[in-house]
Structures are given as structure tokens and as C-alpha cells.
């Protein structure tokens, strides 16, 4: 930053305590001494906090010049609890190694300074402002919009207010109208170069009054002036619009003058009740000041309440039908599940995931039917902060248990003790960082349901994904419009219907930590090339993960096994006293659990890396010099009677087998006695079995202690990831798994009607195709590296379903997914509503787990990619595309037989392979073929760029139009017009407003010259987009 020093002095002096947030005495740790021998010394300073500027002085004199100043942006405070009785704290800056150590006079003064410093930044002030604005908005009455006392006639009109609806209601409109005009006799001043549209105004009842006022509700797309006009954008009313039969609608034919300025040249009006019970379009005369200048034709495209309206015999029944009960077809949740559950407002699980829906509707000509009706929906998800919160809590719990396990281990060797101390310090630092991270997530979650693009570098929400949304396109053909037709939920569907889902989110990356040394791929494999590093990440070292988690996993399983052994011992002792065999069912249950837990323990003890480390303990000559010094400490824990680790494991296994055999023989002998079997053998005695159980406890404890020591040896010998690297990887994975769960849940819950598809997910996994538009230049190259590692870490995640408890009321929190396990073995559980759970395949109902098959295709399209193509290195992009192609081909071989369109899939895979191998620059055909192949293999689609706002908007709109052309009869020559319409009037432009407050794509005309033509927005929709 650049500073005007004299102005800073004036700010510090003029304040004079009047505008100070806080001032007082603090001791700062500063460098003193000669250049070659500086030391840290605590120096007492007079400190003054003015807004987000922290001044400190040598004296208390207000007229003196400040000795220094700190700008409190991108900073956070970390308290030091183990020094100076809690009076010390450290001010750290995001992405930098610089920090300042402070010491207050007492603990209360330190706490006051910490609170003042944390709340001093602009980001905190803005967050509090947004929270208050949300509370103010919630306190207003629903439907309170900006209105005028009188409906406009021929005056200048304002743009309509875009309404954001809750996803708790159906995402299907209750009334949808298309518009056309004919016989227009417009003034000569308006020639065919002028743009026209229809603006719609809706009556809104006044509070405590019989009168109503008009509010601007909608406008169509802009078309060239002519005698006949056909508009593609349609008007949709939803339940939240609170329509009644008496609601008045006014339609104004408007001339576009300049941005946000329109002039009405004619108007018409009707009531909502006039639109129902019609077989032909409603035709209204367009009245100007002195004459009729043409006709407006209103065509009701979809009446989802039409079967109720048909039965309405009076005005009261008509009002009840229009207002409805919240479901688009007027029925409540039933005990059967059909394809209509693809609607987010009807499926309880989907309803629990999503909120804040924005939608647009269109009508396009189609070669398959008279027309095709398209609904474009963009939804925020509650998972944006819910999943990061759960994941950080899981990490906190994991680190807490790891620290407790390390503290419980006692070493007599100084080298082991030093290693233990170093690991404890590192884990304690991680734990403190996670505790700070979860505070920001919880605080932000109260006011927001998604993280905006301008918050990419906000330390408080760095674990949350950026701009996470579900983009859904629902397609309906003219021959399936009647309300009696069920909603299809196939991605491609039949020739008459379909749903396309795309999850959009900003590239998962550690924006706060920056990319000075590259991203995760470079940091994890610093000694390898990009290509080799990619292969190393793709084939993860699972044994290393297992041994890193060994203290936690082994202690948990050992506790469960010890409980089972104790229960068995109690049952046997009770049976010995009364000389009666324990109850079969109880004993069989205990034996089954014990056998399962012992199998898990033996699997952990068979870890090859652990065996090598323990071999060093038994054979000092086989180890390194440093490892040999550990033998003395280890032998103090090892029983002299044990010949070696392998023998110990075998004896443990034999003892478990012997106990299980004897117990089951005892039960069999009791059965023979009851059946009077003369050839029955004598059962084992209670004393023999109890002796074996006692020996098993001793051997199990001995083996566990040695395994813990072996893990410590392995830890000391193996280079460990730094705390910073572990934190960065957890941060990136948190963003990735949040988007992943959003996509998996939506795909799973939208495919309930297809049992074969759900079974294939269990057998083959669920394909995930991440489309990335990042360049391979400078910072975005580092983002891509983070993205790749986060994507491959999804291989360690498993998913399963379980029945959710029945719960009354509208609170659906009990249906949200939950996380279990550790960072190296994560399990996601979907809690399915009981009605839906009953229709799942038997495998999913029984708790079968399924995996995801992640892939990533990246093609940079911006001006930085042009530089990378000429002077940079594209090897990483080529490598990740080639590796993803191999994954695609393997999945294709496993699932081709069950594909609904095998020939189409064959051609698509062939085209994708050719495109990837061609090595062309900015070859966006790769993205097109990969997306098509993913849909044909029933995979989940993700689209990302830096912030999922501008380039992502171009990609999503292009894909939607391409799907309409490929599968729904949209004429190829109309694709460009449809893409332009969706980019001008669709939900993705609203996404830019939600993120930066301006409805413009953040492109410049110079930038767009380097973009492929298919990814360029229409004129007037891009420019400088600053909030």
C-alpha cells in the first residue's frame, strides 16, 4: 500500500482520544541491537486504535509523532494462554510470516484489546452491517416492495425487482404466461432499429385499506420493433406472489431508451381470473393515449393447478385453488414416491438443502413439438457453511484425541521425548487455528447462506466454498404440459421432458494463504515435476494415511474390544457361579462384535510401514543409527517371552480363535444336552475359557503398546507434512467436499425413480466431472494445483444412507448430511426422509457405502491463458486432462452396457479422446465432450472458475443451450440467440449482482478479444463491475 505520511500523522494527532476506539499502554516485542545481532525485546509503548489503523508512540504525548502504524486488514489475533498468565496476544496477517507480539498489563486489559483489534477491520464492519440489514429485511412484511401510488400509464418505468424465493416452496410456477403482439401500428419515430419489450405491473393490496397499489413485477426480453412480435421470455407467478382471482395485471408495451430507462407507448390490463378456463390465448387491445395501436396475446403455458380450477364452481373455490396449499399440484405429501419428487419444493431432503431460489422461464420453438418450455433456477445451499462447520468440528475432535493419545504415551528415551514434544506443539497450533476458523464460520452462518466472490480472501470464512449454487434447467414440451403429466427427472429424459443440474462454485483454493510457492501440488511434491507430482497425488499412499491415524483408530478399536472382552468375562463368571451356560443370543452377539473388532485390530497391526518400524525395535542392526537409540526404551515395554512381532500377532490371533471356538463349543454342548444327544462331547470348562480371556487381555494390551511405539518410530523416521501444509490441504478439501456433497445429494435424491441407476452407484461409484476454466498462469496456476489435490482427496470419502427419524413441524435440520471419521477416512451419511427411504434399493437401505469417481478437465480461456500458451507451461493442464480421460474410459467400460444411449456415448468418448490428445490451445471442445459424456454416464456436473461468477456464467448458459439443441429440438441456428438471451435475462446475470452488487459480467472488451467466441457475453452485459 502507498501512504501519505503527513496525512497519517494528522489522523493520529487530530483524533486526540475523541475518535479512538481504544488507547492505552502495551508492551511490543521489537528487534533491538546491531544489524548482525538483533534480539527480541519487550518495549512499552503508548498505543492508539483509530478505525482500522493501530498507532503506537514512544511517549503518551498526543502531539508527538507516531513511532509506527499497523493497518488491520487481513489480520487476526491469536491469544497466548501459556505465557504471562494470559496477558499476551499476537497480531498475525493472512498469507504473511510477519506478526507482532503484545503484552498487556493484566488479563482483562488484554481481552479488551483483543476484542477491539478483531472488530477493527472493514470486513468485520461490513459483516455486522449485512447482518443488521438481513434482520431488518426479515422484520418487514412479506411482499413489501417498492411501489407507486398509481400504476404508470405512459411515463418512464423502472426496472422490475427480482424476487428471491425460499426453496421451501415448490420451484414450479403456479401460472406461466407467454407473450406475443400482432397488428402493431406504432409511431413512425419507432423504426425497426428500436428495441421493445412488455413490462408487467401487478396490483398489491394496501395494508389496512380496501385499495391496492401497482408494483412492477416483470419485463420480457428486448426485440426489434415490427408489426408482429414474439417474446421468448415468459412471465411466471409462484405461490409467494400471493395471487388472487382479483389480482389486476397491467401490460405496458415499452420502448427502450437507454440503460434502465423505458417509456410506455401503450397498455392493456386484465384480472388473473380472466386467464383461467381458456382454450385459446387471451387477446387484449393495446391502448395508447388516443387510440388502439395493436393486440397483446397472452398464452397460459402451464396451469399446474388446472385440475382444481376446472372443478371450481364458485369464486371461493377459485380463490382457494389459486392460493393453493404450497404444492404445485395441490396435494400434500403422500406415502408413495414418484418422479415428481425431482421438484425441490416437494422432496423433503432436497428442501432441507436449498434456499433462496431465483428463476427465469422461457418458451422456445422446437422441432419435436410446437414449443419447449424452459425454466432456469439458481439456488443457494445451506451446505455452504453447514459442511465446513461439521468438517472443522471433526478436525478439532481428531486433533484433540491425537494430542490426548500422545500425552498418554510415556518415553524414557530423550529422542522420542523430543519428537513427542515437537508433534504436540505442531498439533496444538493446528488446534488453535481450527478453533479460530470455526468461530468465523458460525458467526457468518447466522447472516448468510453463501460466500460471495469478494470474500475469497476473508480469513473468517476461508473454509467455505465460494459462490456455491445449484443451477437447474427444467425442460417441458408442449405435449406434456397438462398438470396430470408427472415431472420427469432424467438428465436427458425422454424426448418430451428433462432436468439438467450443474453445481457451480469458485475453484477450491487457499486464497488467504496465497500462491507465492505455488499450490498444493507443488508444496506436497516439491522435488517432482508437475506431471510426476500429479501421478503421485492420483495414487495416494494409503498406508501412510493409515499409520498417521493409527493412535486414534487403534485406541478406539482397542476400547471397543476391551469392552467386549469385559462383557464376555462377566457372562462367563456369572455362568460359572450358577453352573449354567449364558443365553445363546447374548453370547453370540458379544462373540460376533469381538471377532469383528479383533479382525480390525489385526488389520491395523499388519500395516507394512508399521511392521518395518517395529522390526527396527526388535532388530537394532536393521535400523538407522538414530533408530537404534530407541531400542532401550522400546524393550522396556516388550515382554521377554515374545520372540518377535510376527509371533506376537500370530499368538494374538490364535488366542482369539481359541476363545471363539471354546465359547461356541460350550453353546453347542448345551444344545446337545437339551436334545438328549448321547454322542455329545464334554464342553470346555469355565476356568479354561476365563484363563484364555485373561491372557488375551494381556496380549492385546502388550501389542497395542508396541504398535504405539512403532508408530512413533515411523513418525520420527518419515518426513512429516508441515502444519501449514496440513492446514492448507484441510482448507481446500473443506471447500471441495461441500460442493461434492451438494452434487451427490442432488443426484441421489433426483434419481429415486431409477432403482437400477442407484444400484450402479453402489457397484461402480458415482462419476463426478469437474469443469475448470482456470488459466495456467501465475496465481490461477496455484489455484489449479490446489483444486487438483482437493479433487483427488475425494477418493477417501464414502457415502451411505440411513433412515431419518420422523419429526413433526417444518424444521428439516435432521435431514441434513453428517460427517464421520477422520480427515483420511471420511464418511458422509445422508439422513433420508422415511417416505423416501422405503423406495431406495435394498443395498442402500442396508447401509451399503458407495464412492465417487472424481475427474477434472481444465481449459483456460482468458487473456492470462493466452500468455501461458505463448510464454508459460501448459503441461499441468495437459496431464490432468489426460489422467481424467483415462478415468472416464475406465468408467465407460464398466457402465456402457447399462447406458440408455450407447451409440451416442461411443461417439462422444471418441471425440473426447481426440480432443484431449490434440493438444490445441484453448480447445473448449474438451469441455463440451466431457460434459456430454458425463451426462450420458449419469454423472454429476460441476463448473468452476476463479469465483464461479463470470466465466462460469458463460459456460453454464452455453451448456444449457447446447442441451436444448441436442435433446429437445432447438434449431441449431437458434442456439446463439438462446445463449445471448440467457446471458442477458437469465439467472447467471443475477449471480453477478448477488456477489458484487452490479448486474454486469466483469470483463473488458480487450479481455474478450482473447476469449473463444462461444464464451463472449452480449454487448451491454459486461464492464467494470465494482460494488
pLDDT at 388 over 80: yes
Residue 943 has what pLDDT? Answer: 97
Tell which wins on pLDDT, 279 or 494: 279
Q: Say how far apart CA 811 and CA 242 lie, in whole Å.
A: 23
Q: 684 CB contacts (<8 Å, ≥6 apart)?
A: 662, 665, 666
Residue range 240-277, pLDDT digits in tens? 777 778 888 999 998 877 656 778 888 999 988 888 77
SS3 41: strand
Cell, residue 610: 508399521
For 736, phi then psi, to 5°, come to: -70, -45
Residue found under cell 448321547: 678
**pLDDT value at residue 345:** 72
pLDDT score for 431? 93
For residues 1012-1024, average pLDDT: 89
Instruction: Tell me the C-alpha to C-alpha distance, in Å, between residue 80 and each of 95, 96, 222.
Output: 20, 19, 62
Highest mean pLDDT among 77-81, 162-166, 846-850: 846-850
Highest mean pLDDT among 64-68, 479-483, 530-534, 926-930: 926-930
Please report which confidence band the pLDDT of residue 498 belongs to, taking 50, 70 and 90 as the band edges. Answer: confident
- According to the model, what pLDDT value does residue 495 have? 33
Most confident listed range (302-306, 551-555, 705-709): 705-709
pLDDT score for 909: 95
Q: Which residue has the higher pLDDT, 415 or 796?
A: 796
Cα dihedral across residues 943, 944, 948, 952: positive or negative: negative
* CA 221 – CA 256 distance, rounded (Å): 11
Write down the pLDDT at residue 630: 38
Look at residue 636 in the predicted model and tell me its pLDDT. Answer: 42
- Are the beta carbons of 571 and 582 closer than 8 angstroms? yes
Q: What is the pLDDT of residues 839-863, one digit of tens each?
A: 999 999 988 999 999 999 999 999 9
Measure the CA–CA gap between 840 and 828, rounded to whole angstroms: 17
Split at pLDDT 50, 70, 90, the class of 626 is very low
Q: What is the pLDDT of residue 152?
A: 46
Q: What is the pLDDT of residue 149?
A: 32
Q: What is the pLDDT of residue 441?
A: 92
Q: Report the pLDDT value the prediction gives residue 790, as an integer from 0 to 100.
A: 93
Mean pLDDT value across the chain: 80
Nearest to 49 by CA among 104, 120, 114: 120
Cα–Cα nearest to 222, from 188, 246, 256, 268: 256
pLDDT at position 692: 86
Q: What is the pLDDT of residue 301?
A: 73
The pLDDT score that the predictor gives to residue 150 is 36
C-alpha cell at 695: 491372557
868: closest CA among 860, 879, 856?
860
Q: Is 939 left (phi over 0), alpha (psi -120 to 50) or beta?
A: beta
Which carries the bigger pLDDT value, residue 71 or residue 538? 71
What count of Cα atoms within 13 Å lies in the side-chain half-sphere of residue 986? 28
Q: Distance between CA atoms of 844 and 850, rounded to whole angstroms?
A: 9
DSSP bridge partners of 89: 79, 102
- pLDDT of residue 779 exceeding 50, the answer is yes
Under the banding of pLDDT at 50, 70 and 90, the label for residue 1 is low
- Cell numbers for 39: 534480539
Does the pLDDT at position 629 exceed 50? no
How many Å apart are CA 1015 and CA 584, to the nearest integer?
70
Give the pLDDT confidence score for residue 326 in this predicted structure: 37
pLDDT at 211: 66
pLDDT tens for residues 95-108?
Answer: 667 788 999 988 88
pLDDT for res 437: 93
Please count the other Cβ atoms lying within 10 Å of the Cβ belonging to residue 788.
30
Averaged pLDDT for residues 275-289:
84
* pLDDT of 145: 34
d(CA 515, CA 524): 13
Q: What is the pLDDT of residue 118?
A: 86
Confidence of residue 761 (pLDDT cuts 50, 70, 90): very high
pLDDT attached to residue 486: 36
Distance CA(275)–CA(298), nearest Å, equals: 8
- Average pLDDT on 495-515 reads 85
**How confident is the model at residue 401, as a pLDDT?**
82
Contact 970, 366 (CB under 8 A): yes
Sequence-distant (6+) residues with CB within 8 A of 691 are none
Between residues 123 and 519, the one the model is more confident about: 519
Q: DSSP 3-state assignment of 966? A: helix
Q: How far is CA 354 from CA 51, 242, 379, 711, 956, in A?
A: 38, 22, 6, 44, 19
Predicted TM-score (pTM) of the model is 0.74
pLDDT of 669-725, one tens digit each?
776 655 555 555 666 788 888 888 888 888 888 888 888 777 766 766 666 678 889
- pLDDT, one tens digit per residue, over 436-454 is 999 999 988 887 888 999 8
What stretches of 494-529 show up as alpha helix (H) in DSSP? 520-524
Residues 729-744: pLDDT tens digits?
999 999 999 999 999 9
Reported as a pLDDT band with limits 50, 70 and 90, residue 538 is low
Amino acid at each position: 500500500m502507498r501512504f501519505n505520511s503527513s496525512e497519517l500523522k494528522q489522523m493520529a494527532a487530530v483524533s486526540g482520544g475523541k475518535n479512538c476506539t481504544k488507547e492505552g499502554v502495551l508492551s511490543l516485542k521489537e528487534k533491538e541491537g546491531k544489524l548482525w545481532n538483533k534480539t527480541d525485546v519487550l518495549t512499552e509503548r503508548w498505543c492508539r486504535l483509530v478505525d482500522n489503523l493501530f498507532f503506537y508512540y514512544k511517549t503518551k504525548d498526543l502531539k508527538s509523532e507516531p513511532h509506527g502504524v499497523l493497518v488491520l486488514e487481513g489480520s487476526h489475533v491469536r491469544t497466548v494462554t501459556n505465557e504471562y498468565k494470559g496477558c499476551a496476544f499476537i497480531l498475525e496477517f493472512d498469507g504473511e510470516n510477519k506478526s507482532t507480539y503484545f503484552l498487556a498489563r493484566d488479563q482483562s486489559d488484554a481481552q479488551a484489546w483483543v476484542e477491539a483489534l478483531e472488530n477493527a477491520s472493514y470486513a468485520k464492519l461490513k459483516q455486522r452491517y449485512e447482518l443488521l440489514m438481513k434482520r431488518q429485511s426479515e422484520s418487514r412484511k412479506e411482499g413489501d416492495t417498492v411501489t407507486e401510488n398509481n400504476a404508470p400509464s405512459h411515463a418512464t418505468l423502472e426496472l422490475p425487482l427480482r424476487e428471491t424465493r425460499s426453496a421451501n416452496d415448490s420451484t414450479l410456477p403456479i401460472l406461466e404466461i407467454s407473450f406475443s403482439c400482432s397488428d402493431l401500428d406504432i409511431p413512425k419515430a419507432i423504426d425497426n432499429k428500436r428495441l421493445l419489450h412488455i413490462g408487467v405491473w401487478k396490483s398489491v393490496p394496501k395494508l389496512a385499506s380496501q385499495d391496492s397499489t401497482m408494483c412492477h413485477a416483470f419485463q420480457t426480453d428486448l426485440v426489434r420493433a415490427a408489426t408482429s412480435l414474439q417474446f421468448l421470455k415468459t412471465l411466471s407467478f409462484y405461490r409467494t406472489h400471493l395471487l388472487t382471482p382479483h389480482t389486476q395485471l397491467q401490460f405496458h408495451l415499452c420502448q427502450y431508451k437507454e440503460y434502465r430507462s423505458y417509456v410506455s407507448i401503450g397498455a392493456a390490463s386484465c384480472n388473473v381470473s380472466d386467464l383461467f378456463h381458456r382454450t385459446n390465448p387471451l387477446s387484449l387491445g393495446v391502448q395508447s393515449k388516443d387510440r388502439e395501436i395493436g393486440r397483446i396475446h397472452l398464452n397460459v403455458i402451464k396451469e399446474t393447478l388446472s385440475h382444481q380450477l376446472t372443478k371450481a364452481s364458485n369464486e371461493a373455490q377459485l380463490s382457494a385453488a389459486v392460493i393453493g396449499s404450497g404444492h404445485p399440484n395441490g396435494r400434500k405429501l403422500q406415502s408413495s414416491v414418484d418422479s415428481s419428487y425431482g421438484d425441490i419444493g416437494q422432496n423433503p431432503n432436497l428442501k432441507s438443502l436449498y434456499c433462496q431460489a431465483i428463476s427465469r422461464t422461457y418458451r422456445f420453438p422446437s422441432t419435436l413439438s410446437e414449443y419447449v418450455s424452459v425454466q432456469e433456477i439458481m439456488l443457494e445451499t445451506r451446505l455452504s457453511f453447514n459442511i465446513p462447520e461439521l468438517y472443522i468440528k471433526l478436525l478439532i475432535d481428531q486433533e484433540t484425541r491425537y494430542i490426548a493419545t500422545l500425552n498418554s504415551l510415556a518415553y524414557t528415551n530423550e529422542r522420542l521425548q523430543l519428537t513427542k514434544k515437537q508433534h504436540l506443539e505442531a498439533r496444538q497450533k493446528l488446534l488453535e487455528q481450527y478453533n479460530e476458523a470455526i468461530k468465523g464460520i458460525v458467526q457468518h452462518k447466522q447472516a448468510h447462506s453463501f460466500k460471495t466472490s469478494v470474500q475469497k480472501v476473508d480469513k473468517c470464512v476461508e473454509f467455505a466454498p465460494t459462490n456455491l449454487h445449484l443451477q437447474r434447467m427444467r425442460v417441458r414440451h408442449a405435449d406434456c404440459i397438462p398438470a396430470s403429466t408427472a415431472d420427469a427427472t432424467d438428465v436427458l429424459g425422454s424426448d418430451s421432458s428433462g432436468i439438467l443440474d450443474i453445481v457451480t462454485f469458485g475453484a477450491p483454493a487457499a486464497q488467504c494463504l496465497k500462491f507465492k510457492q505455488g499450490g498444493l501440488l507443488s508444496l506436497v511434491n516439491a522435488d517432482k515435476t508437475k506431471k510426476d507430482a500429479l501421478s503421485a497425488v492420483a495414487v495416494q499412499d494409503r498406508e501412510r494415511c493409515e499409520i498417521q491415524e493409527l493412535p486414534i483408530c487403534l485406541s478406539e478399536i482397542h476400547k471397543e474390544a476391551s469392552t467386549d472382552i469385559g462383557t464376555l468375562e462377566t457372562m462367563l463368571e456369572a455362568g460359572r457361579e450358577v453352573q449354567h451356560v449364558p443365553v445363546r443370543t447374548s453370547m453370540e452377539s458379544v462373540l460376533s462384535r469381538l471377532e469383528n473388532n479383533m479382525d480390525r485390530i489385526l488389520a491395523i497391526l499388519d500395516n507394512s510401514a508399521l511392521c518395518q518400524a517395529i522390526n527396527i525395535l526388535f532388530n537394532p542392526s536393521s535400523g538407522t543409527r538414530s533408530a537404534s537409540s530407541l531400542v532401550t526404551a522400546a524393550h522396556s515395554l516388550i515382554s521377554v517371552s515374545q520372540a518377535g512381532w510376527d509371533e506376537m500377532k500370530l499368538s494374538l490371533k490364535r488366542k482369539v480363535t481359541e476363545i471363539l471356538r471354546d465359547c461356541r463349543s460350550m453353546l453347542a454342548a448345551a444344545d446337545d444336552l437339551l436334545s438328549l444327544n448321547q454322542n455329545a462331547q464334554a464342553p470346555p470348562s469355565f476356568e479354561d475359557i476365563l484363563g484364555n480371556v485373561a491372557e488375551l487381555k494381556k496380549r492385546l494390551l502388550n501389542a497395542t503398546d508396541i504398535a504405539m511405539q512403532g508408530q512413533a518410530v515411523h513418525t520420527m523416521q518419515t518426513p512429516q507434512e508441515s502444519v501449514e501444509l496440513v492446514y492448507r490441504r484441510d482448507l481446500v478439501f473443506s471447500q471441495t467436499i461441500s460442493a461434492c456433497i451438494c452434487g451427490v445429494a442432488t443426484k441421489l435424491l433426483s434419481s429415486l425413480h431409477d432403482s437400477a441407476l442407484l444400484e450402479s452407484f453402489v457397484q461402480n461409484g458415482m462419476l463426478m466431472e469437474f469443469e475448470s476454466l482456470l488459466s495456467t498462469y501465475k496465481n490461477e496456476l496455484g489455484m489449479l494445483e490446489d483444486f487438483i489435490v482437493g479433487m483427488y482427496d475425494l477418493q477417501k470419502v464414502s457415502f451411505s444412507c440411513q433412515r431419518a427419524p420422523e419429526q413433526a413441524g417444518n424444521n428439516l435440520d435432521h435431514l441434513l448430511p453428517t460427517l464421520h471419521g477422520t480427515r483420511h477416512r471420511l464418511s458422509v451419511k445422508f439422513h433420508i426422509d422415511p417416505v423416501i427411504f422405503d423406495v431406495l434399493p435394498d443395498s442402500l437401505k442396508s447401509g451399503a457405502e458407495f464412492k465417487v469417481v472424481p475427474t477434472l478437465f481444465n481449459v483456460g480461456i482468458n487473456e492470462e491463458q493466452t500468455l501461458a500458451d505463448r510464454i508459460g507451461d501448459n503441461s499441468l493442464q495437459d496431464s490432468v486432462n489426460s489422467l481424467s480421460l483415462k478415468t472416464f474410459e475406465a468408467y465407460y467400460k464398466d457402465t456402457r452396457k447399462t447406458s440408455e444411449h450407447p451409440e451416442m456415448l461411443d461417439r462422444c468418448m471418441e471425440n473426447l479422446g481426440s480432443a484431449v490428445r490434440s493438444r490445441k490451445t484453448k480447445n473448449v471442445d474438451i469441455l463440451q465432450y466431457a460434459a456430454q459424456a458425463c451426462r450420458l454416464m449419469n454423472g454429476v456436473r460441476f463448473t468452476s472458475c476463479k469465483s464461479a461468477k463470470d466465466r462460469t456464467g458463460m459456460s453454464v448458459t452455453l451448456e444449457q443451450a447446447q442441451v436444448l439443441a441436442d435433446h429437445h429440438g432447438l434449431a441449431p441456428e437458434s442456439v446463439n440467440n438462446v445463449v445471448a438471451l440467457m446471458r442477458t435475462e437469465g439467472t447467471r446475470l443475477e449471480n453477478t449482482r448477488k456477489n458484487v452488487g452490479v448486474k454486469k459480467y466483469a470483463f473488458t472488451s480487450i479481455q474478450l478479444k482473447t476469449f473463444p467466441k462461444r464464451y463472449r457475453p452480449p454487448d451491454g452485459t459486461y464492464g467494470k463491475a465494482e460494488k
